[in-house]
């Protein structure tokens, strides 16, 4: 009975989604495309902008050119650089107060998924100043125009520069959840591969597998459109062709550029078609133990795909073909298993562990509850799992 309710809910959401005001960010792409940002900000009539980033990016000087360009355009800026991995409500509130204090008119998110999530949270507070972040948890709780939001990814993973989601952590309750609203889709995005060249190999690996997880979960779910199907398949192809090269030869700009495109396309796909249990479980690991989101997804993905069984064989066989690893004469089941094995092999080649260390057995029941509540009834997964299934998955992934 509950499964029927979930499928009905998902069907209504899919139908309703066609009525929502979807938009795609205006893209600046290619080497040195970051240099085109300041004139674009000026074109929007912005005189003062809030830059949301983290301390690491500031310390290595990755933003220096952009800051110089903003100054040359006569644009004032204030920087919030205290964003932490798995950004907190406190991060958002601190940055929001800076935005208000300095009378900012736009927001630049510069970094990985965490600064972008934080910036989206700030934008939500600007749009709805009388609503707290917890009050905007869930789907379509903002429904109001955000100030101009410019997203500049320095990793190739989250796809947050293309999505309607901001993932937030409550450091008091260890809860991690998403605010999802079409108004959170950035207005502009800069895909400059030069910004990812110095990314350490282990972050390249984890963020790349994050993008793969987005593409796979979007593709195997039941809310695909023709558009998201093509985006997911293209992303999978690009990731299989370019992730290991980006990991082992970080200065390869072609591979870096292709990974940026893959992350963007995967972001576009899952923002419309949703994710699944991999993300629901990963969010609990981030909330409880601050496990980096991409790393958690990378470890969990093959376990969940195997657990789905024959409900995903046909879809994974299609992805195996997109990745160039299928045998047309073989069965869908065997090609699906080849795809899962290829994910495991890629993880191993990039030194991603097979299990998650540090999971406390007594935490699992609460994590199961939260993962179950996040996924059901919203996520249009190929097979709806019960709490007992999720408990088994936590047992499989823990060291």
Looking at residues 223-241, what average pLDDT do you find? 97
Angle (nearest 5°) at CA 230 between 262 and 239: 25
The span from the CA of 328 to the CA of 241, in Å, is 20
- pLDDT tens digits, residue range 239-283? 999 999 999 999 999 999 999 999 999 999 999 999 999 999 999
The edge-to-edge listing of strands for the beta sheet with 48-52 is: 26-29, 188-191, 149-153, 106-111, 48-52, 76-80
Q: What is the chain's percent helix, strand, coil content, to nearest 5?
A: 60, 10, 30
Domains of the chain and any CATH numbers = 21-195 (3.40.50.1970), 201-397 (1.20.1090.10)
Indicate the pLDDT class of residue 3, thresholds 50, 70 and 90. very high
Predicted local distance difference test score (pLDDT) of residue 357 = 95
The answer to whether 121 and 165 have CB atoms below 8 angstroms apart is no
Q: What does the alpha-carbon distance between residue 50 and residue 209 come to, in Å, rounded to a whole number? A: 30
In this prediction, residue 108 has a pLDDT band, given cuts at 50, 70 and 90, of very high
Mean predicted confidence (pLDDT) in 65-85 = 97
Q: Two tokens at 54?
A: 């983290």
DSSP bridge pairs for 109: 52, 151
**Residue 183: what are its φ and ψ, rounded to 5°?**
-70, -15
Q: What is the pLDDT of residue 86?
A: 86
Burial label for 250, CB within 10 Å (0-12, 13-18, 19+), is middle
SS3 283: helix
Backbone angles phi, psi at 280, to 5 degrees: -60, -40
Mean pLDDT for 78-88 is 94
pLDDT given for residue 42 in this prediction:
97
Q: Determine the pLDDT at residue 348.
A: 98
Is residue 174 scored above 90 in pLDDT?
no
pTM of structure: 0.96
284-335 confidence digits (pLDDT tens): 999 999 999 999 999 999 999 999 999 999 999 999 999 999 999 999 999 9
Residue 171 has pLDDT above 90, yes or no: no
pLDDT at 176: 87
Starting from the edge strand earliest in sequence, which strands make up the sheet with 138-139, in order?
138-139, 175-180, 165-170
Mean pLDDT throughout 50-73? 96
Measured between alpha carbons, how far is 122 from 49 in angstroms, rounded to an integer? 12
Instruction: Categorize the per-residue pLDDT at 382 as very low, low, confident or very high, splitting at 50, 70 and 90.
Output: very high
| pLDDT on residue 1 | 86
Q: Which residue has the tokens 């949703």?
A: 274
């Amino acid at each position: 009975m509950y499964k029927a309710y979930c499928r009905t809910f998902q069907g209504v959401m899919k139908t309703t989604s066609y009525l929502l005001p979807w938009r795609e960010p205006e893209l600046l792409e290619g080497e040195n495309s970051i240099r085109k940002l300041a004139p674009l900000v000026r074109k929007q009539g912005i005189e003062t902008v809030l830059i949301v980033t983290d301390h690491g990016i500031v310390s290595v000087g990755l933003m220096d050119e952009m800051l110089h360009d903003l100054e040359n355009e006569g644009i004032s800026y204030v920087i919030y650089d205290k964003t932490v991995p798995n950004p907190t409500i406190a991060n958002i509130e601190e940055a929001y107060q800076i935005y208000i204090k300095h009378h900012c008119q736009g927001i630049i998110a510069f970094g990985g998924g965490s600064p972008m999530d934080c910036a989206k949270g700030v934008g939500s507070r600007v749009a709805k100043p009388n609503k707290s972040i917890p009050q905007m948890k869930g789907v379509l709780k903002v429904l109001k125009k955000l100030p101009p939001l410019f997203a500049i990814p320095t990793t190739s993973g989250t796809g947050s520069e293309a999505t309607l989601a901001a993932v937030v952590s409550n450091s008091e309750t260890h809860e991690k959840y998403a605010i999802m609203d079409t108004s959170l889709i950035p207005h502009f995005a800069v895909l400059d591969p030069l910004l990812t060249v110095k990314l350490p190999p282990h972050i390249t690996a984890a963020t790349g597998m994050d993008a793969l997880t987005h593409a796979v979960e979007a593709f195997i779910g039941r809310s695909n459109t023709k558009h998201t199907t093509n985006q997911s398949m293209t992303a999978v192809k690009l990731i299989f062709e370019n992730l290991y090269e980006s990991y082992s030869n970080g200065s390869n700009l072609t591979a870096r550029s292709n990974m940026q495109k893959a992350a963007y396309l995967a972001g576009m796909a899952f923002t419309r078609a949703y994710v699944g249990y991999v993300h629901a479980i990963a969010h609990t690991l981030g909330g409880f133990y601050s496990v980096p989101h991409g790393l958690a997804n990378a470890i969990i993905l093959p376990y969940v795909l195997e657990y789905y069984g024959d409900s995903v064989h046909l879809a994974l066989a299609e992805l195996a073909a997109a990745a160039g690893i299928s045998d047309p004469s073989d069965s869908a089941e065997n090609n699906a298993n080849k795809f899962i094995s290829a994910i495991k092999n890629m993880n191993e080649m990039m030194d991603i562990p097979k299990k998650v260390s540090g999971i406390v057995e007594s935490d699992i029941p609460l994590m199961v509850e939260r993962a179950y509540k996040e996924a059901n009834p919203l996520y249009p997964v190929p097979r709806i799992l019960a709490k007992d299934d999720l408990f088994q998955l936590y047992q499989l992934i823990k060291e």
